[in-house]
Homo-oligomer: A and B are copies of this chain.
Amino acid sequence: MSHPQVTFKDTTFTGKTLLSARRATVSSKTLQTQLDQLKSTGRYDCFKLKWHPIYDDKSMWPVPFHLFWDSDVAKWIEGACYFLSENYDAGLDAAVQELVEMIRGAQQEDGYLNVHYTVVEPTKRWSNLRDMHELYNAGHLIEAAVAHYLYYKNEQLKAPVEKYISLIRKRFGTADGQVRGYPGHPEIELALLRYATVTGSSEAYELAHYFLTERGNPEGQDGKHYYDWETEQRGESRWMRPDAFPTNRTYWNCQAHLPITEQTTVEGHSVRAMYLLTAVADLVCLSDSGDKPLGEEARKSWTNALDQLWNNMVDKRMYVTGGIGAIKQWEGFGIDYFLPQGTDEGGCYAETCASIAVMMLAERMLHVDLDGHYGDILELCLYNNVMTSMSTDGTKFTYVNQLASSDKDKSERSDWFWCACCPPNLTRLYGSIGGYLWDYGPGDGGAYVNVHLYSSAQVSFAVGDENSVNLHQESNWPWEGKIRFRLSSTKPVDTTLRLRVPAWAQGSYEISPEAPEPTSLKIEKGYLILPPVYTSKNPEFSLEIKNFAPRYLSPHPYSMQHVLALARGPIVYCVEDIDNDWETNHFKDITITTDSRITEERKEDTETGESYIALHSNGWTRSVPNCGGGARSSVDRDLTFVPYYFRSNRGGRGQMRVGLVNGGSVIGTVFPERGYTG
């Protein structure tokens, strides 16, 4: 039982794929760009505990501009450690070491380690868990410490973090003298569980378990909800609240309206929800692996909650791009089926971090229940909502990923954000993405590899003391469905492979060499199972996933989005004004039908260096009634579509749209595509 942030080291990317190109860009460009941002904004030095002018800025409440700086630094360290092992860079190495020195120096005698509450409000530690990201920042320090420990193989960051965990553990819990708090922004829970797995720390596991169990307790502290209690302790009225709280006490914003196991719909801030559920799933993983058994009843109630919340999210609250969160105010979920494409239709947030966190959750869910649906969603997020959030040159980013631009919110990127969670999150994701491709190990009476993502890469892992298995895959994914596999091992071992057949392939694949009795190969819950009898006879084989023809996707009819989006394989497409330069109204009136002809064109964009498949089709600009009489007339249009991830890389006027008006009554494949009845 391990985590992608640990196992990624077993995987080497080989050959040039879309994924390896992005990784190379992050390694060669993004890490340095982000380091420069850390330096120029004051973040790099923040652990020196000197006063920074921005600390005087009181215009925001309760969260000041600098509150997440600790985490920005920590996430960059984490990402750098992932890349250093594969592509050493002395400058980055030195920066990590200097940062770690500063962090060590910032730790207080008792172990406390937080910039804001050491420098700006030193008397107010732990006074506002709901809003002040104190435990969130701690979580990212813990994640950084794990990455640092595994790369540097020393305790320079692990040691202070361990001390900090002990301090936190001492304060929070159910024992006498402890208070019953938990973070407003979950993150530390998943960090603690990974830390516990890597280091064996019981304290970390117990603290995470406590945070997850206590959350949403209506009378945890002195008979009160913890957040009510701490509000009273601060002497604040409950009517005084952050702008992200639409009304008073809307604790669903941080998933604390009910104990987790009683929640049935996924609510509030979407990154918080996903980080939280990732930890819950990991709790179940740790139980299933025998490391930390939960007991049958407890396991059941946690997995029930996971299933309900996951299904609610995917079936009713996710965009076709893998984006989640329709509402800007709380950066989170709207009601079921409320999925407007952009600001002028009622919202669309689809934060980069949220989809990264969906990937993290999906990866954990694959361990709880090996079901290709989780792999499908993981891949959907990766190639669409996540990949779209960085420019092809690795230097510009999006935080919000709308499906349609508007005059108010154009399709464009930024160098950085005051709340800079997304850019370094991309860095650490791409750094550890190898760990998401597959999981594997001894088992199934020999060895197994469950392949979740296709690319060109190889993985090696030990089976017993003296044997090691190596699986190599080579493909032009996501453009073509053919993947060549090469399996080898030091000594013979019965190896079972499970290869994901995405739902959009509708079970259609070809394998070569064919199995002696082809019917003996089965797809189970989205995975084609190659038993040892096949793999031993065919250590080299190729799989071809079929059904790469462009297809139309529709959001669920209850979303009131009578639109069609184009997809090809895992890639969702959009139209941009750079290719369709007659457009002036954000493609709001562009209408297509499912029977219009689609052609493909392989493109090499010289400016960006990107190769991709563009799609061409046609439709028309619908005539829209002008109130006050009259109507624009309808105009036929040739349309060029590019991958959504590729948007906003080539200039233009920032006009873009994924779902175009459906001019007919027939709808496409209703999203989400599921390959089987679950």
B557, A624: Cβ atoms closer than 8 Å: yes
Chain B proximity of A249: nearest CB distance (Å): 10
How extensive is the interface on chain A, given as a class?
Answer: 35 or more
Q: Nearest-CB distance from A58 to chain B (Å)?
A: 12
Question: In the complex, what's the smallest C-beta–C-beta distance from A133 to chain B, in angstroms?
Answer: 17
Q: Chain A contact residues: over half helix, strand or loop, or mixed?
A: loop
Known: A558-B588, A663-B665. A670 touches B625 (CB 8 A): yes
Identify which of B588, B627, B674 contacts A629 (C-beta below 8 A).
B674
Question: Considering the chains assembled together, what is the distance between the CA atoms of A346 and B588 in angstroms?
Answer: 21
**Which among B237, B329, B335, B630 is the interface contact of A247 at CB below 8 angstroms?**
B329
Report the minimum CB–CB distance from A236 to chain B (whole Å). 8
Known: A329-B247, A630-B677. A558 touches B624 (CB 8 A): yes
A243 interface contact, C-beta 8 A = yes
Give the complex CA separation of A665 and B661 in angstroms.
Answer: 11
Q: List the number of copies, as a whole number.
A: 2
> A678 at interface (Cβ–Cβ under 8 A)?
yes
A299 within 8 A of B: no
Q: Is A627's CB under 8 angstroms from B556's CB?
A: yes
- Please tell me if the beta carbons of A242 and B239 are within 8 angstroms of each other in the complex: yes
Q: Which residues of B contact A556 (CB under 8 A)?
A: 624-625, 627
Would you call A468 an interface residue if the criterion is a C-beta within 8 Å of the partner chain's C-beta atoms? Answer: no
User: In chain B, what residue has the closest Cβ to A667?
Assistant: B625
A311 CB-CB contact with B under 8 Å: yes
Contact of B334 with A346 in the complex, beta carbons under 8 Å: yes
Distance, CA A643 to CA B558, complexed state (A): 25
Among residues of B, the one whose C-beta sits closest to the C-beta of A61 is: B239
Q: Are A248 and B239 in contact (CB under 8 A)?
A: no
Q: Does A36 contact B (CB under 8 A)?
A: no
User: With A665-B663, A674-B627 known to touch, is A560 a contact of B557 (CB < 8 Å)?
Assistant: no
Q: Would you call A628 an interface residue if the criterion is a C-beta within 8 Å of the partner chain's C-beta atoms?
A: yes
CB proximity of A669 to chain B, nearest CB, Å = 9
Q: Is the CB of B346 within 8 A of A338?
A: yes
- A628 and B315 within 8 A (CB): yes
Interface string of A656-675 (1 = CB under 8 A from B): 00000101110000101010
Interface members, chain A 281-334 (any B CB < 8 Å):
311, 314-316, 329, 334
What sequence of 0s and 1s flags, for each residue 546-575 of chain A, a beta carbon within 8 Å of any chain B beta carbon?
000000000011101110000000000000
Report the separation of the CA atoms of residues A239 and B128 in the bound assembly, to the nearest whole angstrom: 16
Would you call A171 an interface residue if the criterion is a C-beta within 8 Å of the partner chain's C-beta atoms?
no
Any B CB within 8 A of the CB of A57: no
Closest CB pairs A-B (n = 6): A315-B627, A629-B677, A240-B240, A243-B247, A562-B562, A625-B670
Given A556-B624, A557-B622, A560-B560, 8 new contacts (CB under 8 A): A243-B247, A315-B628, A335-B344, A335-B346, A558-B624, A560-B561, A560-B562, A628-B674
